[in-house]
Amino acid sequence: MAFEKFKKLYDLQKKAKEVQKDLRNTLVEAQSPDGKIKVVFNAEQKIESVEIGEDYLQPSKKKELENALFKVIQDALSKIQKIAAEKAKEVMGGLGIPGL
């Protein structure tokens, strides 16, 4: 019986590592409504790339750029959190805890 629990724990650990690898390889893109700012994160919340349209690269557009970049990053992180929650739910489902 104890062996079965250890095996289950080992299997869950293995699954968690697979999920972490999946998150590392999952790219999430978000962009401003005008498409002039784009960020790409992996699902481990690491920035992969940032693109900013030349229109925003003027001193007079500094505040507009900051606001747009803030919103785009927030959007990307929100998407990542949803992906991570789904992946965690898959792993936690293996624990046999009701409601997960």
Tens-digit pLDDT profile for residues 42-97: 998 999 999 999 999 999 999 999 999 999 999 999 999 999 888 888 777 756 65
Domain of residue 58, residue span: 2-83
Strand partners, 62: none
Distance CA(59)–CA(37), nearest Å, equals 16
Place of tokens 């998150």: 23
Q: What is the CATH number of the domain that holds 46?
A: 3.30.1310.10
Taking CA atoms, 64 is separated from 54, 59, 71, 75, in Å, by 13, 10, 11, 17
Tell me if 98 is assigned to some domain: no
Considering its fold, how many domains does the chain have in total?
Answer: 1
pLDDT computed for residue 22 by the predictor: 86
In this model, does residue 98 exceed pLDDT 60? Answer: no
End-to-end CA gap in the chain: 23
Tell me if 94 is assigned to some domain: no
